[in-house]
Chains A and B, each alone.
Chain A
Amino acid sequence: MKARRKWSLTNTFLNSPKFVPYLFVSPFIIAFLLFYLYPMISTIIMSFQEIGFGEVSYVGLANYEKLLNKHYLSALMTSTSYTFWTILILIPLPLVLAVLLNSKHTRFKNFFRSSLFMPALTSVIVAGMFFRYSFGENPQTLMNSLVGLFGIEPIVWLQNSTPAMIGLVILCTWRWLGVNIIYFLSGLQGIPDEIYEAAAIDGANRWDKFRHITIPNLKPVIIYVLTISVFGGYKMFAESYAYWQTATPGDIGMTIVSYIYQVGFNNFEMGYASAIGITLLLIVLIINLIQLKFFGLFKKEGE
């Protein structure tokens, strides 16, 4: 009798429109609390501590005071310029390619789509190894043979800051181009053909259509891609790791996350590493707020 009542109680719960949504989102909420919020809070706490084996002492702001050093600033510069260059390439290029792939006149569309998307499925480390070897400094390596075609002397790619940045950006472009194309393609397919037809009747040429119909209609997608690119750029680590492991010569490829890794695991200063992590969070947050404000995402419709 009792068991039956319990059963019906569960039943009512499962049918209750107030409760069920929570049930469905609970896996996400639990995962978020356990794997995101909890580590985030403990990182904030750890950034004020000095941590040894089983011994923890509060050191106030000492970890944050350490931040003003060459390595941190250089890591910040590297991450920023990496983010800048990836955004500069990874928005216009996939946009144009997506428009081409969406055009009725393009042939073998599916083949191009899948081959452009393929790199996104490879592991960063595997791809990184491949690129690490192609960017080797021997004259026979892939990249040096390529530049050799233009009569350029073999380049020592990974020990100079400009070629190193080119190497990082090429790896990133290769990997993420396909993903961004997919975003833009899905955006393009949401633009009704009638608008283009109407424009054609009004005498708009291809460029006008692209400029005045495609771009404005893709604005939400562009803002989305921009936002995740800012995140992606600042949190980049694996690419740099694949090229140089942990010790980047002269810090040329050391990003903020590689710096966290080095400080935390190589020097075993977990507290300081946490402090760097917190600054990274703040930097990305601020940049995104500025960018969203700039694109008017906070404005209400019709304002």
Chain B
Amino acid sequence: MKKVFVLLLVIAMLTVMAVSGLAKETRLTYWTYQELHKEFMDDAVEVWNEKNPDNQIVLETSVYPYDQMHNKLLIALQSGVGAPDLSDIEISKFANYLKGKTPQLVPLNDVVEPVLDKTIKARFDNYSKGGKYYGMPFHVGAEVMYYNKEYLDAAGVDVDEIVTWDDYVEAGKKVKAATGKPMTTIEVTEHWSYYPLISQAGSDIFAPDGEVILDNETNIKVLQFLKDMIYKHEIAIPAPGGFHHSEEYWAFMNNGGAASLMMPIWYMGRFVQYMPDLKGKMIIRPLPAWEEGGNRSAGMGGTGTVVTIQSKHKDLAVNFLGEAKLSKEASKKLWTVLGFDPVRWDVWDSPEMKADNDYTDYFGKGIFDILLEIKEEINPTVITEKYPKAIDLLKKNVSFKALKEQSMTPEEVLKEAAEELK
């Protein structure tokens, strides 16, 4: 009796194995540094598996801390073993992975090219080399201004009358006088305050041909403007903790520390997650322009998802990635799930983008309409092999020495940084 039972069990197990062997199931590994991205990709896998019953995917995601993930990936690609099938790479590190003549990433042209004319192409250019696209972007990263409406009302400022940066400074003075709070905070140990502003002003770190233009006149003027906001007009303060992602900052801002904040649209998630007390108080508007009619935004930050050449299922990984991040469905989910402004603009006016979600609950309706308004006002940014080093210098030296320590003038510090990059 027992023997028969064992025999049956063995047969049953063999059948199960044979059946699962038939329904093709492929394991893909995926590395990221953002818990939110994992949730998004898990959702994409479900959609994929429904659509492709005979080509199932099991996604094994590992979420590592930011630095650790990038280092592990760099070493795995360099030594030729141990890399995952798919991985996220943050934009300021991306250039490292394209160094040399033989990129260790798989070109995604097959899935990118068919829809390229429906997207903000500049975002793909960030992750490209020699006409090949290696990274799949998450978002446009439009820079916006988050205003605390209570403070503006208290000072009698109408937010829609802030058109230029001069208006912004004037409004800031009123807010300071009425509430005693600074109008804004400026990052001094990261680059999210300075870099978007130079991009908005039509300048950049590098010229399109790769030449270093960090110390040009516009950039000096912009840095001086930030410095004036802090020390001359006294409407801004260096961000507590140094940057807008520090614990000190979240505590400060959550307590209503400042009346406005300039960050990309993806910072919405940080408000929802870390600054719950501001719910219903914050509103989103385009940036003030440098002059009337000028650009009111900039495209900032980003993460490219890549397929590594060590993957054993390159085609599947590429196709899945196209489906997961570039299809119409996926683009809508980028907004509803992550609060990201998708790079595909042909979904921007679809009804899903106007529907309520966590972000409209927090910031009020019509956020996406604002993004639609400014979509033409985003300059591309130039990314070269020296980009990681340039961002590093912006973070460590430029804003810190000019705005916090004040040990160097804006001109000196930019000249010094540019010299180092050349």
Contacts and interface: CB of A to CB of B under 8 A. Distances in A.
Contact of A52 (B80, B100, B188, B252): B100
A53 interface: yes
A266 B252 CA distance: 30
A55 B100 contact: yes
Contacts of A137: 240-241, 248
Interface in B370-418: 388-389, 392, 395-397, 400-401, 404-405, 407
A248 B388 contact: no
A247 interface: yes
Contact of B400 (A246, A249, A270): A249
A52 B96 CA distance: 9
A253 to B, nearest CB: 11
A138 B396 contact: no
Nearest to B105: A53
Closest 8 CB pairs of A and B: A52-B100, A268-B96, A249-B400, A249-B189, A247-B395, A265-B71, A250-B400, A53-B100
B78 A53 contact: yes
A97 to B, nearest CB: 34
Contacts of B96: 266-268
30 contacts: A51-B78, A52-B99, A53-B99, A54-B78, A54-B102, A54-B104, A55-B100, A55-B102, A133-B247, A138-B251, A158-B242, A159-B242, A159-B400, A247-B396, A249-B189, A249-B400, A249-B404, A250-B397, A250-B401, A250-B404, A250-B407, A265-B67, A265-B70, A266-B96, A266-B388, A266-B389, A266-B392, A267-B388, A268-B74, A270-B78
Contacts of B247: 133, 136
Nearest to A262: B392
Interface string A264-277: 01111010000000
Contacts of A250: 396-397, 400-401, 404-405, 407
Chain B interface residue count: which class? 35 or more
Contacts of B99: 52-53, 268
A42 to B, nearest CB: 12
Contacts of A249: 188-189, 242, 395-396, 400, 404
B414 to A, nearest CB: 15
Interface string B96-120: 1001111110000000000000000
A265 to B, nearest CB: 5
Contact of A266 (B93, B102, B240, B420): B93
